[in-house]
Amino acid sequence: MTLTFDRSTYSNLLAEIAPKAIENDEEYDRLLKEAEKLTFTKNPTPEQTALYKLLVTLIEVYEAEKYPIDKSEPHQILQHIMEAKGIRQADLVDIMKSSSGVVSEVVNGKRAISKAQAKALGDYFQVSPSLFI
């Protein structure tokens, strides 16, 4: 059973919440609370779902502008995964099929990770090899 979208109901929701492009933290907090309410609504109506998607889009745009995430370098990602999994550089010698000197250069960002090494690391850590390229 597909529920039909009611423009009048949606218009009323929009009038009640009055979402707009977020320009400050107060507006961000307000819309975040509204989105949170909708997240936990049991059996949301099509109109509530549409409003939720709109709010999430506005929130994501604001967060991307206000709190940009720097892209990590491949060797930084490798270092993080190694630390999280308790893996030492010496453990990577067999995984990457490289000498300890090459592994050291890769881990410290002095040498780029080859495609073959990225595939081996991806397989071992069960992540996408693209993280290392």
Domain segments of the chain as ranges:
7-66, 74-132
Domain 74-132, CATH class in plain words: mainly alpha
* Residue 63: HSE in the Cβ half-sphere, 13 Å Cα cutoff: 10
Q: Given pLDDT bands bounded at 50, 70 and 90, which one contains residue 70?
A: confident
What integer is the mean pLDDT of 59-86?
Answer: 90
Does the pTM of the predicted model rise above 0.85? no
Burial of 10 (C-beta count, 10 Å sphere; 0-12/13-18/19+): middle
DSSP result, 4-38:
PP-HHHHHHHHHHH------SHHHHHHHHHHHHHH
